């Protein structure tokens, strides 16, 4: 029975998914993904089959209540799962980010527009892509993609950047502006005519996140697929915190992978330097210490992510002034956690090379990609500004930016 | 109603204590302790009244099941409380360590000798001191304090070092050796004749932990106060992990205090350097950033402690090979958490000085004590060896030392 | 023959001093100073005799041309000597800063007012104190000490802070303002009636730098002791760079001392932790590594100081636009060197404690003073702003501040 | 007049080369190299013309006495030049390492076998490749390449690894063993039949150092090209220190380039994050600070290299016990300098990315190669062991390894 069949079976009355069950099911898939990540980067070969399998096993419904057909679990469970996904392949973890942003909105906002439709899609193993609120338009934040009003819907034309996970996705979300300036948000099948997904993302790391462009040409968007954004501000304007936490979880996964690869290399490949006190690298005192330091960095990154996830969980159901205060607190917590996770991942991936000599720099191993991945994921927005905004909040209570970029 | 009266009232039928309730009750006490910590260090003035108050509010029964008269709560709740205690005064937090070691043993070992008696003492607000298993005898581990067998008990003579919390304690625990080499462990009232507690601990930091010597002179120990240690090894020989986690929690508290003091100083005292772009220090970009970095360090230290505490909690009730494996895992987790907490506290306390100029080095503020406290608490056992032992475990599965010193 | 007698003898026809000769002569004095530094801090006991001896051996004329009665040597030689002084006792090194500021002005400015008189004083072993340009008056830079014009001179009344080295000094330099707003600078014997030097400096580190207040009460200043400051700007307005370099040299000395003390402690006192692979601390792999890291930090600090000193040397004799450009370059170089020296000293003094366990935190050793000294010396002006100013210069050529505080 | 013509002209009576003159001549060449480094890495396109030009301008005779046809200059001058070469392209700098090892041996050893011949080659612009002493044969240090004795010379067959700079070189040096175990060292024209240079080096960084294999097949080596190594140990067995210093200079160059690229990117490409206080990246406070920090790292790396170079210079002409002690000192100094340079380069190249957002991770810029280059060059031998050996030397006087690998 394939993963998709399993999901279908479950939908048809099979036992409900659980977080533990899903993690057990995907474990061999993650092992395969981990084993091919290096080669796939080099060949620019996307893991279409494996990602479909992950979706089929229900990874998209972790964090969705069991009563709604989800696997249950908290924001912390989601974050912990993302760490594991990123440990296997941080590119795939990031490519799944829009899917988890959708799932998080479903789980946290009972009033989310089109909630039922998107929940059903998640339950059937769909994946999402799209440029969410937080990445919608350059320095000025303006939207230039045009939505032309037509009977029963819109025709949308424009070009979107950073459509993370686009080639994996079954649905694509984005936004456009009508001629009277109204912002229209929409989610449509990714294979609908008028949606062209380009594989044009080329950074020094996270190269297979499919964060390329999407060209929209006279794309049909039905009224039932669209939401017109009003003026109202949510009680907690820092909804972007989850998206930032997600990136921190990716960093924690990269650090965990650095530990895995360090252990593997020392066990299987390394030889001690001539003047070492040890005959075997596993006994070299500095190799041992370095491995322990990498372990500590991985642990620090994961711990800050998990604890910050709890603060996002605690926001659920709180409203009004209370959630505004708690939301700002949580946003600051996520920002500080992110700086820790970034620093931990950068250090862990640098230290990885200190467990070996020249041979660990072999391109065949491709261990540099961990640092490149961490460095690229860290560049979504500057960590120094994260610290600065956090400091201002501690000092004066000044609220953090609500742009989603913080 | 005083705190002790409250406790008596509760014992007599008043509502049972809760973790949240205790934390609320002690909040003003901690505030007072925090406010006087600097002056007390200088004057070598112990906070006898305040510590008695904390005990009276029931801090010793956090982590003890409510069904047994405790406040409930997990190892994580205990660790979180210790962080708060240390944030107020890291010396007092460390002085309370033997009390929490006792409480942890009561909570985790149903078969603990004299469990009922010590539980009753904890419930009545007693505090403990003593050189626990983990600090019992220098390089060789030998015990030279002598227990002479007499009718119905022993007479004990010797000298103990590092009797942390001795002057606060109502009970003193230690061990001695009989002439046939048997190790006798005992707990007696600290004011019993034959127990002389010296105030002779003098380190560069953590100066008021009361970790001085205790001179035992022909001390009476009844058979009902003594335990003769057998040869049996516990399933999980890493019982010392909690004691190490405790020290990490102290570091997390020190880092949190560095944040508090940084915020206070910038708000109340600091002036920007002449060439700053800001007219007020709260607006200086690098002051803000530094405060945010201190916040991130404090958060990292606390997060690794909380998550490591969960792993100790998870050991409860597990037995045999399973707990040996999980116990080693947890010990490694605690060790790695400790290295993160130590590094975080040392960095946070160093950065504290970067939010001001010359005036923040004023001895009247005494902010150097935070670094001195962190540095001293970190020296219980070397962090590099923690990493090395962790690395060896990751690489080969080699089990960590069971000396309690790791 | 005492040091002062030696100096007198030389003045009377003895062989001219050389840098190497002076360094050889002071070597035993520095050893004594190093040996008593810890006790003197505790007792607030100034090394009057030893400092007088250092002066008698001619340390003040290092960097002054031999043709002028100096010992010759470059700015780099001076900086290197300061590193050695600070290695023995960083408090004394800083107390001598005003003397070296005077010597540096004499060496670099042929047109310095009262040059001959002050050169003669230096040659006779005099020491200077005073609040130089760079510390003259709080946020606004204003001078409130009043100079009242009288026949043949002034009567000066006011209070000066941070009179570094005041109690050691034979001459005191400061500035005052006349009722028409003219700034008058002056140097007078420190024991002249009207000069009261207070021992009221109390910081967490560098406690014996004698950076206390000086109260001036109707102090007589003759016209031949005074200079009226004109409006003219020097070609190179960053004359304060040497003063900043001096502080960096102090940091380098502190780092060097951390290495000395680490080596001494490991050799003489340390015992390895129970689970060490070594029977003796000198063989413990992590003790060795830590000592090597401290060594590297000390080396980095000294190297940046020496190379930055060369750039100050190279400014000598250059004028006009060329020196303005080179002066800004050198100021940036000194600032960057300072950030490296500060970071190196803070890390080295932190790592010092990692070569031992609990016993290295003994207050009797007082090793925490090295960190406290480094931390306090670092707080003269914020290192983050040093980096920021340097970055702005690299990016846009924006000139660094000329306040002397950078 | 081409560079090679210039050299010929000089050999024929033109003015002698000087360090300053050579540096001026190569400045435009380095600019071209710097500008193409990124593209050349991607295309695996060696800068044959430019390297020949550099050689033609006489870079190989820097550090050789002017009386011998060199450009004069000290070891420090050589190191400083290498920093500049590496700043332009760290791959080329490393490819030139065997040439500078040869030049250093010529400059420091009047008794060097075949000194005159190799000096003449250097003067004519020749470049060298080869596996020097320090990389001659894997863990056991054994040589398996065979030298068969024939009339007037040898026939050599075997395979050599890490023949750095091989494709640029006009001469190739290596060693082989005769059937009676004698080690034969030799230098032959790189284009002699029997020398096959493979382009098979593939590491994650320093990819164009041409450190591939060289296959020797029945290669003719005349007696006048060979040296039979005796048993005698040099007074200073740490001749490999220069080779290690060279690598540290490469790191310093990489750090300097990170500064260059940071400045360029901020000026030309960067936009501040939305919540920045600045309208332009050059004014963003954290961009400025980060650039200043990169500058400080570059400065630290260069300073430790220059000062360590002085200690190697000071060994020249010293003999016997004195040079053994000074040689060990210098080796330790170089090792500590290397750890500083490595750490500085790794940090500078990591920080480079913090001056921009997502756009600085663009593969077209290829800024990750700086970190990859630093990381790869650092892996020649483990930095932790450098610290450990240095620590042992400080603690006990234990001499560092003489393998050349330290």
Read off the pLDDT of residues D127-161 as tens digits, 9 standing for 90 and up: 999 874 434 444 445 688 999 999 999 999 999 88
Is D259–C392 a contact, with Cβ atoms under 8 angstroms apart?
no
**For D161-170, what is each residue's pLDDT tens digit?**
889 999 999 9
Tell me the residues of chain C between 287 and 326 that have a Cβ less than 8 Å away from chain D: 287-293, 295-296, 299-300, 302-304, 306-308
Which residues in chain C are contacts of B403 at CB distance < 8 A? 274-275
Using a CB-CB distance cutoff of 8 angstroms, which residues of chain D are in contact with residue B289? Answer: 286
On whether the CB atoms of residues D292 and C390 are closer than 8 A, the answer is: yes
CB A353 within 8 A of CB A367: yes
C391 touches chain A (CB under 8 A): no
pTM: 0.96
- Averaged pLDDT for residues D289-298: 98
Q: Helix, strand, or coil here: C332?
A: helix
How many Å lie between the alpha carbon of B277 and the closest alpha carbon of chain D? 9
Residues of C in contact with A286 (CB under 8 A): 285, 289
CA-nearest residue to B289 within chain D is D286
Name the CATH topology of C241-396. Answer: Butyryl-CoA Dehydrogenase, subunit A; domain 3 (1.20.140)
Q: Would an 8 Å CB–CB cutoff place B391 in contact with chain C? A: no
Looking at this predicted complex, what is its ipTM? 0.94
Residue D277 forms contact with B (CB below 8 Å): yes
In angstroms, the separation between the Cα of residue C285 and the nearest Cα of chain A is 7
> Which of A285, A286, A292 best probes binding to C when mutated, by most C CB atoms within 10 angstroms?
A285
How much is the average pLDDT of A333-353? Answer: 98
Please name the residue of chain D whose CA is at the shortest distance from the CA of residue A278: D385
Asked if the Cβ–Cβ distance from D277 to B285 is below 8 Å, we say: yes
* C-alpha span between B372 and B370 (Å, rounded): 5
Q: What is the pLDDT of residue B301?
A: 98
**Nearest-CA neighbor of D165 among D142, D195, D190?**
D190
For residues C200 and C202, give the distance between their C-alpha atoms in angstroms, rounded to a whole number: 6
Q: What's the pLDDT at A143?
A: 80
Cβ proximity of C254 and C377 under 8 Å:
yes
Tens digit of each residue's pLDDT (9 = 90 or more) over B254-308? 999 999 999 999 999 999 998 999 999 999 999 999 999 999 999 999 999 999 9
**Domain residues of chain B, as ranges?**
3-126, 146-228, 241-396
| Cβ of residue C396 closer than 8 Å to a chain A Cβ | no
Q: Does B277 touch chain D (CB under 8 A)?
A: yes
CB < 8 Å to D297, chain C: 340
Using only C-alpha atoms, chain C has a radius of gyration, in whole angstroms, of 22
Give the pLDDT of residue B5. Answer: 59
Q: Is C284 on the interface with D (CB under 8 A)?
A: no
D372 and chain A: CB distance < 8 Å anywhere?
yes
Residue range D194-251, pLDDT digits in tens: 999 999 999 999 999 999 999 999 999 999 999 997 767 789 999 999 999 999 999 9
**Angle at which helices B241-268 and B285-313 cross, to 10°:** 160
CA D129 – CA C180 distance, rounded (Å)? 75
Say which residues have a Cβ less than 8 Å from residue B278's Cβ, sequence separation at least 6: B272, B284, B285, B287
CB contact under 8 A, C379 and B368: no
Q: Do C68 and C14 form a contact (C-beta atoms < 8 A)?
A: no
Instruction: Place A131 in a pLDDT band, splitting at 50, 70 and 90.
Output: confident
Within 8 A of B336 by CB-CB distance, chain A residues are 292, 295-296, 299
Query: Least CA distance to C286: which residue of chain D?
Result: D388
The torsion of the CA quartet D118, D120, D121, D126, rounded to 10 degrees, works out to 130
Which residues, numbered 245 to 274 in chain D, qualify as contacts with chain C under a Cβ-Cβ cut-off of 8 Å?
259, 263, 266-267
- Residue A311 pLDDT greater than 70, yes or no: yes
- Of the candidates A204, A290, A358, the beta carbon closest to that of D367 is on A204
- Hey, is the C-beta of C384 within 8 angstroms of any chain D C-beta? yes
Question: Contact B139/C274, CB-based, under 8 Å?
Answer: yes
Residue-wise pLDDT for C114-124, tens only, equals: 999 999 999 99
Contact yes or no for B139 and C271 at CB 8 A:
yes
Q: Is the pLDDT of residue C32 over 50?
A: yes
Q: How far is B390 from chain A (nearest CA, A)?
A: 5
Residue C7: what pLDDT? 57
| Closest D-chain CA to C297 | D340
Task: Please report, in angstroms and rounded to a whole number, the separation of the first and last CA atoms in chain D.
Answer: 44
pLDDT interval class at C234 (50, 70, 90): confident
A259 contact residues in B (CB cutoff 8 A):
394
pLDDT at B1 over 50: no
Sign for the pseudo-dihedral over CA of A175, A180, A182, A188: negative
pLDDT recorded at residue B370: 98
pLDDT attached to residue D283: 97
Distance from CA of B379 to the nearest CA of D (A): 20
D286 part of contact set with chain B, CB < 8 Å: yes
Length of chain C: 406
DSSP secondary structure, D303-354, as one string:
HHHHHHHHHHHTTTT--HHHHHHHHHHHHHHHHHHHHHHHHHHHHHHHHGGG
CA A215 vs. chain centroid, Å, equals 23
**Binding partners of D (≥3 Cβ pairs within 8 A):** A, B, C
Residue from B273, B278, B285 to probe the interface with D (highest D Cβ count within 10 Å): B285
Q: Of B340, B386, B388, which has the smallest distance from its Cβ to A300's Cβ?
A: B340
Q: Which CATH class is domain A3-126?
A: mainly alpha
Q: Cβ contacts (< 8 Å) between C285 and chain A: which residues?
A: 277, 285-286
Lowest average pLDDT, out of A72-76, B11-15, C171-175, goes to: B11-15
Q: How many CB atoms lie within 10 A of CB D198?
A: 16
Closest residue of D to A275, CA-based?
A: D401
Contact B354 C389 (CB under 8 A): no
Position with higher pLDDT, D267 vs B6: D267
pLDDT, one tens digit per residue, over C65-90 is 999 999 999 999 999 999 999 999 99
What is the Cα–Cα distance from A28 to B298, expressed in whole angstroms? 37
Q: How far is B213 from chain A (nearest CA, A)?
A: 34
Give the chain C residue whose CA is nearest to the CA of A283. Answer: C277
Interface probe for C, chosen from D299, D338, D354 (most Cβ of C below 10 Å), is D299
What is the per-residue pLDDT across A10-67, written as a single tens digit (0 to 9) for each?
555 566 899 999 999 999 999 999 999 999 999 999 999 999 999 999 999 999 999 9
Do the Cβ atoms of A388 and B288 come within 8 Å? yes
D19/chain A closest Cα distance in angstroms: 34
Chain A residue with CA closest to D275: the answer is: A401
Q: How many CB atoms lie within 10 A of CB D316?
A: 13
Distance between A385 CA and the closest CA of chain D, angstroms: 7
Mutate to test the interface with D, among A368, A391, A404 (most CBs of D within 10 A): A368
Query: Are the C-beta atoms of residues C58 and C71 closer than 8 Å to each other?
Result: yes
Chain C contact partners (≥3 CB pairs within 8 A): A, B, D
Binary contact (C339, D289; C-beta < 8 A): no
**How confident is the model at residue D133, as a pLDDT?**
40
Residue C141 has pLDDT above 60, yes or no: no
Neighbours, chain A (3 or more CB pairs < 8 A): B, C, D
For residue D364, give the 3-state DSSP assignment. Answer: coil
Q: How confident is the model at residue C315 (pLDDT cuts 50, 70, 90)?
A: very high
Alpha-carbon gap, residue C135 to C381, rounded angstroms: 11
Check whether domain C146-228 has CATH 2.40.110.10, yes or no: yes
On chain D, the residues whose CB falls within 8 A of the CB of A388 are 285-286
Is the model's pLDDT at A5 over the cut of 80? no
In B, minimum Cα distance to D289 occurs at B286
Q: Please report the pLDDT score of residue B14 as a whole number.
A: 60
CA distance D353 to D355: 5
- The arithmetic mean of pLDDT across residues B237-258, rounded, is 97
Question: Given this model, what pLDDT does residue B134 score?
Answer: 36
Whether B277 sits inside 8 A of D286 (CB atoms) is no
Mean pLDDT of A167-171: 96
Residue C94 has pLDDT above 90, yes or no: yes
Tell me the pLDDT band of A4, cut-offs 50, 70 and 90. Answer: low
């Amino acid at each position: 029975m394939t993963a998709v069949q399993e999901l279908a079976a479950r939908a048809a009355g099979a036992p409900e998914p659980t977080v533990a069950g899903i993690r057990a099911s995907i474990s061999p898939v993650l092992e395969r993904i981990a084993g091919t990540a290096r080669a796939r980067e080099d060949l620019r070969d996307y893991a279409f089959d494996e990602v479909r399998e992950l979706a089929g096993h229900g990874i998209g419904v972790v964090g969705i209540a069991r009563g709604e057909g989800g696997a249950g679990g908290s924001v912390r469970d989601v974050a912990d799962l993302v760490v594991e996904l990123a440990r296997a392949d941080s590119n795939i973890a990031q490519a799944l980010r829009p899917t988890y942003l959708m799932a998080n909105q479903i789980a946290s906002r009972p009033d989310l527009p089109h909630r039922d439709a998107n929940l059903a899609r998640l339950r059937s193993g769909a994946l999402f892509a799209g440029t969410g609120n937080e990445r919608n338009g350059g320095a000025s934040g303006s939207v230039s993609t045009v939505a032309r009003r037509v009977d029963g819907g819109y025709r949308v034309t424009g070009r979107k950047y950073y459509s993370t996970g686009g080639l994996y996705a079954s649905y694509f979300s984005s936004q456009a502006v009508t001629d009277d300036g109204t912002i229209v948000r929409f989610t449509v099948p990714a294979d609908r005519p008028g949606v062209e997904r380009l594989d044009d993302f080329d950074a020094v790391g996270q190269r297979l996140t499919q964060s390329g462009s999407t060209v929209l040409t006279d794309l049909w968007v039905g009224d039932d697929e669209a939401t017109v954004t009003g003026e109202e501000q949510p009680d907690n304007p820092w909804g972007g915190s989850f998206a930032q936490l997600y990136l921190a979880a990716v960093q924690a996964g990269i650090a965990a992978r650095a530990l895995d690869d360090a252990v593997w290399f020392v066990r299987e490949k390394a030889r001690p330097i001539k003047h070492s006190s040890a005959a075997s690298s596993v006994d070299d005192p500095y190799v041992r210490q370095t491995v322990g330091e990498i372990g500590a960095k991985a642990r620090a990154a994961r711990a800050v992510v998990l604890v910050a996830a709890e603060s996002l969980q605690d926001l659920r159901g709180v409203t009004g002034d209370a959630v505004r205060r708690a939301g700002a607190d949580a946003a600051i917590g996520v920002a500080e956690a992110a700086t820790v996770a970034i620093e931990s991942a950068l250090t862990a991936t640098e230290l990885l090379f200190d467990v070996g000599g020249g041979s660990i720099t072999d391109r065949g191993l491709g261990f540099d990609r961990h640092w490149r991945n961490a460095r690229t994921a860290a560049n979504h927005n500057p960590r120094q500004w994260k610290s600065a905004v956090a400091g201002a909040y501690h000092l004066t209570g000044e609220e953090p930016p609500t742009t989603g970029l913080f």
